[in-house]
């Protein structure tokens, strides 16, 4: 029988904030409640935005909160050769070079919209999808950004928090950029390959990643890696102005000087049963024994205050 394996995979473009902490805590408590392993992976493929000092601070914060990971930490910035091997082998037949800039695509869509104004009965274009301008251009894949053709059929999966989900990855995402022109590997490609290679069985992450899930399912099938058994997408944590807590919205870094109080706050935000204020280690043991997804089911957002 497959041992449950979960993971926390932050992008070290800044320190942990309350939103990323709740994701870490939820994934930790959930997988430990199943008797599984909790892995830690730094998703630092974007070397222009990620910084090793943030990675080190994340480790210090998790240790201060008693959330110790199993096994070795993986740094995606050290695994580019692995991702490129898959791009040059299993994914090669479905990929192609692309030279379209944002400016060129904006011009393309402007023309499309003008034509639709002249002929309103035309179907409205979907600006989310790449119009495949370069699919037959046979551009050098090493000298251009690389796109991957996603399958054009509906995929369904059960989300343990959000319920039954259906999506067609080609219709919603189109041909994804999986490697930028500067050779940076796309998040969902690296995550898909690493989740498979690490034998991850349960994924608990933010609701903002839900639209990418069918793409991840497709990529893992393409490269013949073990499938994820259970998906869970947590409600987004919003600040007082209704914005998602994120580094882009200047969410404040957590302060682990009072780790027990911080854990209690995060558990309250996750609508979990209260735990006794004690050492972080004992609080986590109690939180794991009491963990339940039920209070989160069907929710799309939570307020930073926990109300």
Residue 187 lies in a domain: no
Would you state the pLDDT for residue 126?
Answer: 55
Residue 186 phi, psi dihedral angles, 5° rounding: -65, 145
Q: What is the pLDDT of residue 306?
A: 57
Report the residue count for the chain: 307
Closest-CA residue to 253 (of 10, 20, 9, 67) = 20
Q: How far is CA 18 from CA 78, 187, 292, in A?
A: 28, 22, 20
Same domain flag for 118 and 217: no
CA–CA distance, 194 with 176 (Å, rounded to integer): 18
Checking if the pLDDT of 246 tops 90, the result is: no
Structural domain harbouring 117: 85-179
Domain ends where: 134, 155, 179?
Answer: 179
Residue 11 pLDDT > 90: yes
**Per-residue tokens: 46:** 């974007």
Asked whether residue 120 falls in the same domain as residue 138, the answer is yes
**Domain harbouring 159, CATH code:** 3.90.800.10
CA distances 110 to 37, 103, 117, 125, 134, Å, are: 50, 11, 11, 11, 18
Are 127 and 142 in the same domain?
A: yes
Whose CA is closest to 58, among 5, 21, 86? 21
State pTM to two decimals: 0.92
Report the run of H or E that residue 29 belongs to, with start and end.
Answer: helix 18-33
Tell me if 7 sits within 8 A of 195, measured CB to CB: yes
- Cα–Cα–Cα angle for 85, 72, 237, rounded to 5 degrees: 90
Q: Is residue 184 included in any domain, yes or no?
A: no
At residue 113, the pLDDT reads: 76
CATH of the domain at 279: 3.40.50.620
Q: Which pLDDT score is estimated for 305?
A: 67
CA gap 150, 213 in Å, rounded: 12
Q: Count of domains in the chain?
A: 2
Tokens of 174: 């189109």
- Asked which of 146, 179, 212 is the last residue of a domain, the reply is 179
Q: What are the tens digits of pLDDT across the range 86-137?
A: 999 999 999 999 999 888 888 877 877 767 777 665 554 455 589 999 999 9
């Amino acid at each position: 029988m497959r041992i449950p394996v979960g993971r926390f995979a932050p992008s070290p473009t800044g320190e942990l904030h309350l939103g990323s902490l709740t994701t870490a805590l939820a994934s930790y408590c959930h997988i430990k409640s199943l008797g599984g392993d909790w892995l830690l992976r730094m998703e630092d493929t974007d070397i222009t935005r990620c910084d090793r000092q943030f990675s080190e601070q994340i480790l210090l914060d998790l240790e201060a909160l008693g959330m110790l990971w199993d096994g070795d930490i993986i740094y995606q910035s050290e695994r580019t050769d692995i991702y490129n091997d898959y791009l040059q082998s299993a994914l090669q037949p479905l990929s192609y070079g692309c030279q379209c800039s944002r400016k060129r695509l904006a011009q393309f869509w402007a023309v499309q919209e003008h034509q639709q104004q002249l002929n309103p009965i035309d179907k409205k274009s979907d600006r989310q999808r790449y119009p495949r301008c370069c699919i037959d251009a046979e551009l050098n894949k090493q000298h251009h950004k690389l796109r991957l053709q996603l399958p054009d059929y509906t995929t369904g999966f059960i989300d343990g928090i959000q319920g039954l989900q259906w999506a067609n990855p080609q219709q919603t995402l189109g041909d994804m950029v999986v490697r930028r022109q500067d050779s940076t590997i796309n998040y969902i490609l690296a995550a898909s390959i690493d989740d498979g290679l690490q034998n991850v069985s349960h994924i608990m992450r933010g609701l903002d990643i839900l639209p990418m899930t069918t793409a991840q399912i497709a990529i893992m099938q393409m490269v013949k890696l073990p499938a994820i058994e259970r998906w869970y997408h947590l409600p987004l944590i919003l600040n007082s102005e209704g914005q998602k807590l994120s580094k882009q919205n200047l969410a404040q870094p957590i302060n682990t000087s009072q780790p027990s109080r911080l854990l209690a706050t995060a558990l309250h935000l996750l609508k979990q049963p209260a735990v006794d204020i004690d050492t972080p280690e004992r609080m986590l043991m109690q939180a794991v024994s009491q963990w339940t997804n039920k209070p989160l089911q069907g929710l799309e957002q939570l307020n930073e205050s926990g109300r």
